Amino acid sequence: MVATSHDVMPDIELYQPTDEANALALAGTLGRDGWLLGGGQDTFGWLKDRNKTPAAMIELTQIDAWKGIKEIADGIEIGAVTTLTEIANNPLVQSRYGLLAQAAGHVASPQIRNVGTLGGNLVQDARCWYYRRGLDCYRAGGNICYADSPQGLNREHAIFGASRCVAVSPSDTAPALVALEATMVVQSESGQRVIPAQDFFVGPARDIVNMTVLNAGEILTAIRIPNTWANAEFYFEKVADRNVWDFALVSVAAVMKVSGGVIEDARIACGAVECVPRRLEAVENALRGQQRSEQLANQVAAIASEGARPLNYNHFKVPLMENLVKRAVRGQA
């Protein structure tokens, strides 16, 4: 008898398609058994901890059609396999859509941004440590949320939108794309879907297993940002325990059109407070047509946190979120 070790990597088939049709065919054939691989930063963690065991991997980094940044009729299109470093440093993104450049530049560390892709950052799974360590929580098919138990450690978890699971969306770029009214281009062998960024992410009340609307066999191939908010006033801030590597405790992404000190229009989204990027529509409504002032910033900050339900160890997220919204409205840290 040959002894086996838990530390031996399981056999995984690796496919490296170089064209769209082949990649979509592989995704359609393999379904949920096919793990889509971009930069691999999230993947390596799962495999190291032996908590995901895909039968096969489909590496997407050799498909040139899904890379790069280009102008289109109504804005820009970014391939989902484009690296975060390229997005953060791209002159077109920096000049017209600086909010996304800032958000991409705040992901993890330079080394990770050099290989990490925009698509990977958007579709990464929940970072809750109970789920990541293979415990049988709701998201993993069990009947308990360990983070939301009397002894649960939930400092980094949700203060809005809990439904069994209290994990938050871990993506830094997602709130920026929601604020910019981006759309996600999703392809499969059956065709193409174009989905507003705000609808691309789903909470546990709708789907306890998945964090996006992607179905088996579908691939996020591009992100389109319209000219609607091009050259607007942008504000992005991420608060984390460390400036590099750590995921956000709370983040804010805001776009505003301001004329003569009057806020004509605004879109604001917060990250790490809910399982999806949290759009602050009530705050936006309160800002439109108002003269920018410290008083206004204080008023809408209180609106931002309405309905929050903190857990045992994350009450600090309420004033933190309020302060980030104040700073976004003021336009300065």
Q: Write a three-state SS string for the chain.
A: CCCCCCCCCCCCEEECCCCHHHHHHHHHHHHHHEEEECCCHHHHHHHHCCCCCCCEEEECCCCHHHCCEEEECCEEEEECCCEHHHHHHCHHHHHHCHHHHHHHHCCCCHHHHHHCEHHHHHHCCCCCHHHHCCCCCHHHCCCCCCCCCCCCCCCCCCCCCCECECCCCCCCHHHHHHHCCCEEEEEECCEEEEEEHHHHECCCCCCCCCCECCCCCCEEEEEEEEHHHCCCEEEEEEECCCCCCCCCCEEEEEEEEEECCEEEEEEEEEECCCCCCEECHHHHHHHCCEECCHHHHHHHHHHHCCCCCCCCCCCCHHHHHHHHHHHHHHCCC
Confidence of residue 7 (pLDDT cuts 50, 70, 90): low
The mean pLDDT of 307-326, rounded to a whole number, is: 98
pLDDT at 297: 98
pLDDT in tens, 66-119: 999 999 999 999 999 999 999 999 999 999 999 999 999 999 999 999 999 999
Angle at 119 between CA 113 and CA 121, to 5 degrees: 50
The mean pLDDT of 122-146, rounded to a whole number, is: 94
Minimum mean pLDDT range among 36-45, 138-147, 184-193, 209-218: 36-45
Angle at 47 between CA 78 and CA 109, to 5 degrees: 50
The mean pLDDT of 173-181, rounded to a whole number, is: 98
pLDDT in tens, 236-292: 999 999 887 789 999 999 999 999 999 999 999 999 999 999 999 999 999 999 999
pLDDT at 323: 98
Q: Cα separation of 311 and 148, whole Å?
A: 7
Q: Cα separation of 32 and 55, whole Å?
A: 9
pLDDT at 1: 47
With 80 as the cut, is the pLDDT of residue 50 above it?
no
C-alpha torsion sign, points 113, 159, 177, 140: positive
CB 240 within 8 A of CB 249: yes
316 φ/ψ angles, rounded to the nearest 5 degrees: -60, -20
pLDDT at 31: 95
pLDDT at 41: 85
pLDDT at 48: 75
Give the Å distances, CA to CA, from 74 to 187, 233, 253.
20, 19, 22
Confidence of residue 158 (pLDDT cuts 50, 70, 90): very high
Cα radius of gyration rounded to whole Å, the chain: 20
Q: For the chain, give the percent of residues with pLDDT over 90.
A: 89
With 60 as the cut, is the pLDDT of residue 6 above it?
no
Q: Cα separation of 56 and 272, whole Å?
A: 31
CB 219 within 8 A of CB 23: yes
240 φ/ψ angles, rounded to the nearest 5 degrees: -140, 165
pLDDT at 46: 83
pLDDT at 26: 98
Confidence of residue 44 (pLDDT cuts 50, 70, 90): confident
Average pLDDT score, the chain: 95
With 80 as the cut, is the pLDDT of residue 175 above it?
yes
Domains, the chain, ranges and CATH? Answer: 13-62 (3.30.43.10)
> Angle 294-304/317-330 helices, nearest 10 degrees?
140
pLDDT at 53: 82
Which of 105, 84, 89 lies closest to 223 in space, CA to CA? Answer: 84
CB 182 within 8 A of CB 150: no
N- to C-terminal Cα distance for the chain?
A: 64
Q: Give me 202's structure tokens.
A: 């789903």
